[in-house]
């Protein structure tokens, strides 16, 4: 596969490096494009396209990788698919769930694949949690809670690009940008809830328009309840994920997964044997080193799936779920009310477009120094 890379900022430069170093078998760069023409010495050996049109009409380009600011993902992915290219879009796949749904349809109609960079699915501890829940060996899930508040970002992170922290630039903050990875893992494991209520704080810790703190309570079909909280202003914050099941309990924290399995119990809450006591448990702690293949793993899967050589694990459909949940949380906070699924995405789009109309991209972002600085906050 030969790919055109669009957007050469913090994450685009990383994709460039990974591909140029040959880390993804079967993937080569056809060339790159950024609306701010890049210095050729920073992208050695790469063909630099003069326009998107030139890239999209190049028959050598089989696929495009879109690493531009979030507000441009939908339009660029749509244009790439319609030009007959496969598309891999950085997260979030789109800012609004209706757009994400449209991309799924366009990809099907064009017979091309549309993938999204949900790289945290390759993190071994999350894959293991999903496997344990999906196997059913711990029984029915009663309750889940994920406090993922260690997404601390200093003000300069937001001041560094024109689009960050603005409604116009990214249609949200902690939910659609940083935590979209965790929201994706959450929907990957549990799917979408029936209903939720969320509370968000906008510019509580930073000089930004969008939310830098969010807390949501959810109820699932079958009775599972869940809480999710995220924050980009708290320090040091924590990352603690708990899942309470009929036949066991999971807690993930600091790269360790604590697993408690209840011995020979169908349902300990119903079993009179335990009316006056607690279940007998087998407890183990699994330790996980490293974060897995991350972006390289997603790119490998994309290449294999485009070659019809494997299943696409990071599809636009998967990207849709996380955008849907993040949008619903914002809608609930804006309207101070419960939101049920499928939620009213037209109402969401209406309120968002009012906010976008009143929003302004930053005029004088500190760019060069900051581009290096951002790399440490990927
Ligand atoms: N998956 C991850 O781990 C991860 C990490 C960081 C960022 N991201 C996502 O990647 C995207 C980019 O983030 P970043 O930190 O690299 O941003 P950035 O501001 O550092 O870089 C964006 C680049 O895109 C260029 N650009 C803007 N509009 C363009 C257009 N229409 N055509 C061509 N080039 C255009 C800009 O000139 C800039 O060079 C965001 O959507 C972000 O959410 C993902």
pLDDT above 70 covers a percentage of the chain that reads 92
Ligand 1 touching residue 323 (CB < 6 A): no
Q: Is residue 162 part of a domain?
A: yes
Count of domains for the chain: 2
56-78 pLDDT tens trace? 999 999 999 999 999 999 999 99
Q: Which of 193, 188, 182 is nearest to 343 (CA)?
A: 193
**Do residue 188 and residue 248 come from a single domain?**
yes
Mutate to test the pocket of ligand 1, among 4, 8, 11, 35 (most ligand atoms within 8 A of CB): 11
C-beta separation of 34 from 67 below 8 A:
no
Burial (CB count within 10 angstroms: exposed 0-12, middle 13-18, buried 19+), residue 244 = middle
Ligand 1 touching residue 160 (CB < 6 A): no
Residue 31 pLDDT > 90: yes
Please tell me the predicted confidence (pLDDT) of residue 272. Answer: 56
Q: Is residue 345 part of a domain?
A: yes
**Do residue 33 and residue 140 come from a single domain?**
no
Weakest-pLDDT range from 38-47, 145-154, 168-177, 267-276? 267-276
**Do residue 305 and residue 349 come from a single domain?**
no
**Do residue 268 and residue 229 come from a single domain?**
yes
State which ligand 1 atom lies nearest to the alpha carbon of 10.
Answer: 16
State which ligand 1 atom lies nearest to the alpha carbon of 7.
Answer: 24
Please tell me the predicted confidence (pLDDT) of residue 362. Answer: 86
**Do residue 26 and residue 41 come from a single domain?**
yes
Please tell me the predicted confidence (pLDDT) of residue 276. Answer: 60
Q: Is residue 254 part of a domain?
A: yes
321-338 pLDDT tens trace? 999 999 999 999 999 999
Residue 377 pLDDT > 50: no
Q: Is residue 362 part of a domain?
A: no
- Residues 132-157, mean pLDDT to the nearest whole number: 96
Q: Is residue 364 part of a domain?
A: no
State which ligand 1 atom lies nearest to the alpha carbon of 72.
Answer: 31
Tell me the residue range of the domain where 27 lies: 2-119+294-312
Q: Is residue 365 part of a domain?
A: no
Please tell me the predicted confidence (pLDDT) of residue 163. Answer: 87
Q: Is residue 370 part of a domain?
A: no
Quick one: pLDDT band at residue 165, thresholds 50, 70, 90?
very high
C-beta separation of 230 from 237 below 8 A:
no
**Do residue 107 and residue 17 come from a single domain?**
yes
Q: Is residue 25 part of a domain?
A: yes
- Cα 70 to averaged position of ligand 1 atoms, centre (Å): 7
* Distance from chain centroid for Cα 187: 10
- What residue owns the CA closest to ligand 1's atom 15? 10
Instruction: Output the domain CATH number for residue 328.
Output: 3.30.360.10
C-beta separation of 268 from 279 below 8 A:
yes
Instruction: Output the domain CATH number for residue 301.
Output: 3.40.50.720
Quick one: pLDDT band at residue 370, thresholds 50, 70, 90?
very low
The structure tokens listed for 128 are 């293991």
CA distances from 247 to 10, 138, 277, 278 (A): 44, 5, 15, 12
**Do residue 192 and residue 108 come from a single domain?**
no
**Do residue 34 and residue 133 come from a single domain?**
no
In the β-sheet with 28-33, what is the strand arrangement from edge to edge?
A: 28-33, 2-6, 63-66, 86-89, 114-116
Q: Average per-residue pLDDT in the chain?
A: 92
C-beta separation of 362 from 228 below 8 A:
no
Burial (CB count within 10 angstroms: exposed 0-12, middle 13-18, buried 19+), residue 241 = buried
- Residues 196-203, mean pLDDT to the nearest whole number: 98
**Do residue 196 and residue 299 come from a single domain?**
no
CA distances from 268 to 242, 246, 274, 280, 339 (A): 18, 7, 6, 10, 32
**Do residue 249 and residue 280 come from a single domain?**
yes
Please tell me the predicted confidence (pLDDT) of residue 369. Answer: 44
**Do residue 184 and residue 203 come from a single domain?**
yes
**Do residue 308 and residue 334 come from a single domain?**
no
């Amino acid at each position: 596969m030969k790919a055109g890379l669009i957007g050469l900022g913090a994450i685009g430069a990383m994709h460039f490096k990974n591909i140029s170093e040959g880390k993804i078998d079967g993937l080569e760069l056809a060339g790159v494009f950024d609306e701010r023409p890049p210095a050729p010495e920073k992208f050695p050996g790469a063909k630099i396209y003069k326009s998107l049109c030139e890239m999209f009409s190049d028959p050598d380009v089989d696929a495009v990788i879109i690493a531009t600011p979030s507000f441009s993902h939908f339009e660029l992915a749509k244009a790439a698919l319609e030009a007959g290219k496969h598309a891999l879009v950085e997260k979030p796949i789109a800012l609004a769930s209706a757009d994400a749904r449209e991309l799924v349809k366009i990809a099907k109609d064009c017979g091309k694949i549309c993938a999204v960079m949900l790289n945290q699915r390759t993190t071994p501890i999350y894959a293991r949690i999903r496997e344990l829940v999906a196997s059913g060996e711990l029984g029915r899930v009663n309750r889940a809670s994920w406090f993922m508040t260690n997404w601390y970002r200093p003000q300069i992170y937001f001041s560094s690009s024109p689009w960050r922290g603005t409604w116009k630039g990214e249609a949200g903050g902690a939910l659609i940008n940083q935590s979209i990875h965790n929201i994706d893992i959450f929907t990957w494991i549990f799917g979408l809830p029936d209903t939720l209520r969320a509370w968000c704080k906008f510019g509580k810790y930073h000089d930004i328009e969008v939310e830098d703190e969010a807390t949501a309570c959810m109820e699932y079909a079958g009775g599972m309840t869940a809480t999710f909280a995220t924050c980009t202003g708290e320090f040091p914050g924590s990352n603690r994920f708990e899942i309470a099941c009929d036949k066991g309990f999971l807690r993930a924290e600091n790269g360790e997964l604590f697993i408690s399995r209840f011995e020979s119990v169908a349902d300990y809450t119903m079993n009179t044997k335990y009316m006056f006591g607690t279940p007998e448990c087998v407890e183990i702690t699994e330790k996980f080193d490293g974060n897995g293949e991350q972006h390289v793993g997603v790119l490998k899967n994309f290449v294999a799936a485009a070659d019809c050589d494997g299943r696409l694990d990071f599809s636009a459909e998967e990207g849709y779920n996380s955008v849907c949940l993040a949008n619903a949380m914002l809608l609930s906070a804006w309207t101070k009310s419960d939101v049920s699924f499928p939620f009213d995405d037209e109402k969401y789009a209406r309120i968002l477009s009012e906010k976008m109309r009143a929003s302004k991209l930053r005029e004088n972002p500190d760019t060069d120094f900051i581009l290096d600085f951002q790399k440490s906050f990927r």
